[in-house]
Amino acid sequence: MSDSEPIIDLRPVLAGRSQRSANAGASAASTASASTHSRDTPAVTPFNRLELNEILRLYGRFVASGEWRDYAIDMGRDTAVFSIFRRASECPIYRIEKTPKLARRQGIYSVIAASGLILKRGPDLQRVLAVLDRSLKLVSR
């Protein structure tokens, strides 16, 4: 294509509409779809640095003891998932999920076992992760 050739508009023209009204309809549709996504809801639900520090601190202890060997992080639109594996070829034995939509209901964090059983759910990550931390505790009589 040379600089002297005209640019041809290859966009389909909607039946019964002039080019101006078709462009106005397209811009109105794009602004309507843009207004449905608010600034408060991110495109991806991430773990922040403090949350990852808490999770990786627990993960590091179990890796050092030889119980866990691999992990995966999945950050989707509605949830962020930290999956824990005993071996890389297996299904995750635990999933730590962050679901902001549940923040005012059951809690933003949950620990889910491989069977799908929710072991603990709540608003505080340290308390939710305590269900996985099986450290020895002093019991007095």
User: What is the distance of C-alpha 59 from the center of its chain?
Assistant: 19
- Left if phi > 0, otherwise alpha if psi is -120 to 50, otherwise beta: which for 8? beta
* Whether 128 contacts 135, CB under 8 Å: no
What is the percent of the chain with per-residue pLDDT over 70, rounded to a whole number? 66
pTM, entire model: 0.63
Q: What does the domain layout of the chain look like in residue ranges?
A: 49-129
Lowest-confidence pick of 29-38, 76-85, 91-100: 29-38
Give the model confidence (pLDDT) of 41-57 as tens digits.
568 778 889 989 999 99
Place of tokens 């999920």: 97
Q: What integer pLDDT is reported at residue 110 of this predicted model?
A: 92
**pLDDT confidence of residue 135:** 61
E strand residue ranges, 23-141: 70-75, 80-85, 94-98, 109-113, 118-122
